[in-house]
Structure 1
Amino acid sequence: MQPDNNNNNNKAPQILNASSNFLGFCFLVLTSIKLFKFGAVTIIDEVTAVSFVLFMCSCLCAFLSIRSRTKRAELYEAIAEYTFLAGLFSIFFMTILFVLEIIH
């Protein structure tokens, strides 16, 4: 396997892969919330929805970065990276809320 000489898109495929996996995780959490009927008493479903939107935006921008042949590829990759990071923080917050709700 040859090294990638194009430095513009070195993170976008990994961001796309991880973001799509976290989208599945968000679906699992939303389904669990509805199944256990936590949605009426917590804000976990709203935080999960925010995470879902952030990861969807990250997926879209990472894909556009991979497919773009212009200088915009760097911009798309940066947006994908920052929205992915924001999604990770929201997942962290959601996990803390979920754990506190189960303990309580």
Structure 2
Amino acid sequence: MAKTTSQHILNTAANLLGFCLFVITSLHIANMTENHLIDEFTSVIAVLLTCSCLFSFASLRTSDLEKERKLETIADYLFIISLVGILIIILLITLNFLK
């Protein structure tokens, strides 16, 4: 049964999507968007997390075992890429405040 990680990916990716939207909103409120690529990069990560949520949800809803595994694998890879992207965002924000 391939539905071992889809539930966790869906929940965690949705929470991290909220983090990305918070970062984008914070940068726009602080008027820091014209100098930084952080908001554009965060937007890309938000799209990847949304896609991860969609593939994970589709994996949970399908009854075909092979299709379920493929969808879960895609969701897993998108989630890992997004996690690395969030790490980069955090590093960029930290370096920006250290200046």
TM-score (normalised: structure 1): 0.92
CA RMSD of the aligned region, Å? 0.6
Query: 1:76-95 to 2 correspondence within 5 Å?
Result: 76-95=71-90
| Identity across matched positions, percent | 35
Query: 1:1-104 to 2 correspondence within 5 Å?
Result: 7-70=1-64, 71-104=66-99
CA distance in 1, matches of 2:88, 2:51: 19
1:44 is matched by which residue type in structure 2? Answer: I
Map Cα deviations across residues 37-87 of structure 1 (whole Å, 9 max, x no partner): 111111100110111011001000000000011121000000000000000
Deviating beyond 3 angstroms after TM superposition, the runs of 4 or more aligned structure 1 residues are none
CA distance in 2, matches of 1:87, 1:50: 9
Q: Count the aligned residue pairs.
A: 98
Unaligned segments of structure 1, at least 5 residues: 1-6
- Answer with 1 or 2: which has the greater Rg: 1
